[in-house]
Structure 1
């Protein structure tokens, strides 16, 4: 990594490798995320009723959707925690934007991911990528 940064003429003093990404976020931050999305949730009392509501308002977040994307949601909360710990004093943070396929994730849940990812951070640039770490350069 150090040699790549030098090759791209990026001045860097410290390189921190973060390996705590897969641990659970703090209960306080997870609760804050749940409270943020609560006004946009449809709680499924019965499957038929929830399906009708979902069709009626396709942008709302259902319980089944929350369950299906729980891992991705916890990842966004955890990323925010790590960015706050390691990059709070940065002038600019550049992060890959989470990918959401149209019709697979509700609008409200996707926007909640973006909101929680960048919450209480310095200016943050979200880059649309393919969720793979790739550096391309010509020698």
Structure 2
């Protein structure tokens, strides 16, 4: 992208999510090393430590409004992919909260960006219903600059030698 005139002067800021707050420096060094191995020039690298924090109430309300028309309490409809059941929400509550927090972080750090590249959430067949998955996508993209959602197929396409 940096070889194209439209994007050549853009800054690349990299945000990586950390699992453990006490290993931020190690995560930062590891990500910087990986970017260097692939010769990716970046302007800023930030490791985000609080992805598991509880989302704000306003973000939760926005998510609830997205799935309101698809909610059901009926246990018999859990196999029907046009409904979001209480059991489904409870089963993947942590993953949903992660997407809620990611929305907050995207709005905080990238709302003025020219383009944002985000890893596409992986849909799990027979685990995540279609309305819930689409609500996750809406969370990540609504009120944002252009977003490129990328997803691999778990096949390595780049090779580097250390």
Q: Which residue in 2 is equivalent to 1:73?
A: 96
**1:112 and 2:135 matched:** yes
Q: Which residue in 2 is equivalent to 1:138?
A: 160
**1:38 and 2:61 matched:** no
Aligned residues: 130
Question: 1 or 2 for the larger relative contact order (CA 8 Å, sep ≥6)?
Answer: 1
List alignment gaps of at least 5 residues for structure 1: 45-49
TM-score (norm 2): 0.69
Q: Which residue in 1 is equivalent to 2:45?
A: 15
List alignment gaps of at least 5 residues for structure 2: 1-30
Q: Which residue in 1 is equivalent to 2:145?
A: 122
Per-residue deviation, residues 73-118 of structure 1 (Å, max 9, x unmatched): 1110100111111122222211111112212211101111111122
State whether residues 58 and 106 of structure 1, in contact with CA within 8 Å, keep that contact through their aligned partners in structure 2.
Answer: yes
Per-residue deviation, residues 7-61 of structure 1 (Å, max 9, x unmatched): 54544222221111111111111111011101111123xxxxx31x445x43211
Q: Which protein has the bigger strand share?
A: 2
- What's the RMSD between the two structures over aligned residues? 2.4
User: How far 1:3 moved relative to its partner?
Assistant: 5.2
TM-score (norm 1): 0.79
Q: Secondary structure at the match of 2:64?
A: helix
**1:98 and 2:121 matched:** yes
